[in-house]
Structure 1
C-alpha cells in the first residue's frame, strides 16, 4: 500500500502496546490521542544494531521530545520482545506490536527490501508526525539511525 499523504488524516488503528506510561500490556487506539501531537516511528526489529542506536538516541533526548509530542515506536515484533528491548535499554517510551502487519501496511512502510542479493518484505524505517487534529504534518522516509533524532526534533520544531 502507498504511504498516506501529508495533511491527510493519519490511518487509525488499535494495537497492543507496552512501555512508557503503559506499564502492563494494553491496547492503544491512535484516535484516542487526538488533542496531542504524536510521533510514530516505524523500525525493522528490536535489539538489532541500527534499531538499538535509533531507540537509544530517542531515549537520550527524551526530555526534549516529551515537551513537544507523544512518541511511539512500532515494529512487527511481538509485545514480549518489545518488553525485553525496553528493559534492556531502559527505553522511556512505549512500543506498539504489529505482528499481523496491519499498521505497517496502512502506513505504506511494509516494503520489498534487498539484502545480499535476496529480496524479502520488511519494515522501511520511517517516521510520521501527527498533529493534534490527527493529520500527518511530516513524513520522514528511509531514515538513517544516526540522523533520525535530529530529523524528528527539526520536524517537531516546524
Structure 2
C-alpha cells in the first residue's frame, strides 16, 4: 500500500477557506475596536473641554469685581470682559478656539481636538453683586466617526459671589 505524504486539492481549498473566514472575522473585530476607540476619544474630549471651560469661567466670574462686557442686564455679547484685581480678562472666540486674554498672555481654553462655536454671554441680574452670566456655546470634536462629529451644546448660568 502506497502512502501519500501531502495534501489533496480539496484539503488545501478547505484550509484556505477556513483561514480566509478567520482573517475576515479578526479584521472586523479589530476595525470595530478602533471605531469604538475613536468614538470614546471624541466623546471624552468634548466632555473634558466643556467641564474645564465651565470651571474656568465660573472661577473667574466668582472673583470678578466688574463685568465690563456685556454691560447691562439683558445684553448679549460674544465677548466676556471681566475685571479681576485691576486686570481685564477677556474671553472670546478666535478661529474655533475659546481664548482667554489676561493682558499678559493669551491662552486657548479648549483642546486641539475640539472646536468651539456659537459662543454667547448674556448678562442677567440688576446689579454687580447680583449679576449672573448666561453662557451658551457648542463644542464639536475634530475626530470623525462614521462621518459624524461628536457635538455638545452647553447652556449654563454662572453668578458673581456676593461681597459681604
- Indicate the TM-score class for this superposition, using the shorter chain for normalisation: under 0.3
TM-score normalised to structure 2 length: 0.25
Bigger Cα Rg: 2
Q: Looking at both structures, which has the greater relative contact order when contacts are Cα pairs under 8 Å and sequence separation is at least 6?
A: 1
Q: What is the TM-score of this pair, normalised by structure 1?
A: 0.25
Q: Which has a greater percent of strand? A: 2
